[in-house]
Amino acid sequence: MVYIHTMHQVNLNGIDLNLLPPLSALLSERNVTRAAAKVGMSQPAMSRALARLRALLGDPLLLRGRGGLLLTPRAQALVPVVGKAVAELAGVFAAPRFDPAAASRLVRLAASDAQAVLLGPVLMARLRREAPNVAVQIVGYSADLGQRMDDGRIDLAFALATTPLPAGARSMPVAVDRLAVVMRRGHPAAARPWRMADYARFDHATVSILGDASSEMDAALAKAGITRRVAFTSPHFTAALAVVARTDMVTTISQAFARRFARPFGLLVKPAPLPEAALPLVLVWSHIREHDPLLAWFRDLVADVARSAGLGGIRTIPGRRRPPPRLDE
């Protein structure tokens, strides 16, 4: 016990911790040649390490007896201490093992109601089977999304691939949706294809997640010399569908989401005649949590869930990249 106490008083900054593996091997093998082979050193190098250890510890450690080299009392006292130190040090550098079935955690995911409805049910069904103690909380978007991800208030966020990401953010593709024009059955434009010029003829219900007034679609319409009138704006896609179901207004939103509610809301879903109608969806996280084992597993689960739910999740094949499938495939 005296030796253990003495070691605790030593300033580790002045000690070469590379001596720990040779010390462990010498204590277990009690033979310089075998100890050298155990740690991959030459016999002369091990002899030099033993000399340095003797000087550092102020004890010969190994002395020749009738049956060969024997441990001194100091060396015998070090056997359990060094064994534990080596095991704990190895644990510092070992890759963490992750078992989803044993994990217990709340994952905070920034998502719109569209992603929550399209992916939430299948995602939670998978979690109940594979990680029953992992819970999910859907949270709203805000201008400080990057900071919230960095400090851990948000773990992951859905975004479009065209959205500028915060500094240090990482992303992975999940699926590709498309824009669609949605109107009620019996709408004045229901019997024919929707044309670009129609955007100027009817009032619109729009979705604004962060309260911004314009969108990429408005920029595309402006290039064509078309201005639409927005009569209703909400942060919720469901609200936009509910409004157009009771009026002659139209909305241009996710095709996959609109089709999910077309029958119960009595809606028609038409292709959007826009130059860029694709909506590539990505999952975003902070570089600070790049190697979080649970979140890495959860990200892969979301991508797999998108496919199993028929929403075009992406499965990566090493050495190959395939075009992301569409949400409406």
275 Cβ contact list (under 8 Å, min separation 6): 220
What mean pLDDT, rounded, does the chain reach?
A: 86
At residue 5 the predicted structure's pLDDT band, cuts being 50, 70 and 90, is very low
Average pLDDT over residues 248-259: 95
Residue 199 above 70 pLDDT? yes
Q: How far apart are CA 175 and CA 282, in angstroms?
A: 7
CB distance 46 to 22 below 8 Å: yes
How big is the CA angle at 136 (ends 135 and 138), to the nearest 5 degrees?
155
Looking at residue 326, its pLDDT comes to 39
Both tokens of 14, joined, read 């002045």
Average pLDDT over residues 291-312: 85
What is the model's pLDDT at position 312? Answer: 52
d(CA 298, CA 62): 52
* pLDDT reported for residue 70: 87
Question: Residue 66 has what pLDDT?
Answer: 75
According to DSSP, residue 198 is labeled G
- DSSP states along 265-313: HTEEEEE---S--EEEEEEEEEGGGTT-HHHHHHHHHHHHHHHHTTS--
Q: Is the pLDDT of residue 134 over 80?
A: yes
H helices present in 169-236, as ranges:
216-223
How high is the pLDDT of residue 13? 61
Residues 135, 124: Cα–Cα separation, whole Å: 8
| pTM over the 0.85 mark | no
pLDDT at residue 213, as a whole number:
60
Is residue 32 scored above 80 in pLDDT? Answer: yes
DSSP 317: B
Contact 312, 306 (CB under 8 A): yes
Tokens 């009595």 label which residue? 266
Poorest-pLDDT segment among 9-18, 46-55, 300-309, 310-319: 310-319
**Which pair of tokens denotes residue 198?**
């129609």
CB-count burial class (<10 Å; 0-12, 13-18, 19+) for 239? middle
pLDDT of residue 10: 58
The per-residue pLDDT for 219 is 86
Mean pLDDT throughout 292-309? 90
- DSSP assignment string, 11-31: -GGGS-GGGHHHHHHHHHH-S
Q: Is the pLDDT of residue 4 over 50?
A: no
Tell me how far apart the alpha carbons of residues 114 and 107 are, in angstroms, rounded to a whole number.
Answer: 18
- Give per-residue pLDDT as tens, 145-194: 889 999 999 999 999 998 888 888 999 999 888 999 999 999 999 999 99
